[in-house]
Chain A
């Protein structure tokens, strides 16, 4: 089956810094989502991005489906950005999650 790898596994940054999170997948996919899991466990939709680039405030995402990767950019980080970021890909009636990137933003 498809493998989904996220990097880095952990990231510690100072407030105000920028970051790039990566999601690689081993085969073609029909869709891709990015989620943020807050400290209370809630998974919040960030982007539904099978291909191309989208922006929402300080966050943006780019998926290059032909090269099997997606990037999530966070600019001017805030402490509320802390948590785990998951990427999930969909193909053949299945959605597969990566193991996530744990982001710590220090005040």
Chain B
């Protein structure tokens, strides 16, 4: 069974731009979660989607948004990028909510 895939793997943007990251979960998994990882803040939960509905949201500004499609693939969008948004963005999939999670390789975003 193929693992979780994330695209793109690396991204360089400038302040003020917006970015969209994509995550394809393991086949059959219906829950997708997003995390931001920075050296200073560790792993921080962004949001979780299940059956195309956002079920949980972390403490991030409204510039961070996401969605899930009927095939369980998910995208997250960050608008009006700031330098502090530079981070590794990780996506995880699980069969159902709050269950064993499997992570993708991450997207490393650099904001200049």
Contact = CB atoms under 8 A, between A and B. Distances in A.
Contacts, number: 52
Interface in B61-103: 88, 90, 92, 97-103
A80 B88 CA distance: 21
A21 interface: no
A45 B48 CA distance: 19
Nearest to B107: A41
B25 interface: no
A88 interface: yes
A19 B101 CA distance: 25
Interface string A25-54: 000001101010000111111001000000
B103 A43 contact: yes
Interface string A61-96: 000000000000000000000000010101111111
A31 B55 CA distance: 18
Given A41-B88, A100-B42, A95 B101 contact: yes
A41 to B, nearest CB: 5
Contacts of B43: 86, 97, 100
Contacts of A43: 90, 92, 103
Given A41-B106, A97-B43, A100-B42, A31 B99 contact: yes
B78 to A, nearest CB: 18
Given A41-B88, A41-B105, A86-B43, A94 B100 contact: no
B90 A90 contact: no
Given A31-B99, A93-B48, A94-B45, 10 more contacts: A30-B98, A33-B101, A40-B105, A41-B108, A43-B103, A45-B103, A93-B98, A95-B33, A99-B42, A100-B43
Interface of A: 30-31, 33, 35, 40-45, 48, 86, 88, 90-97, 99-100
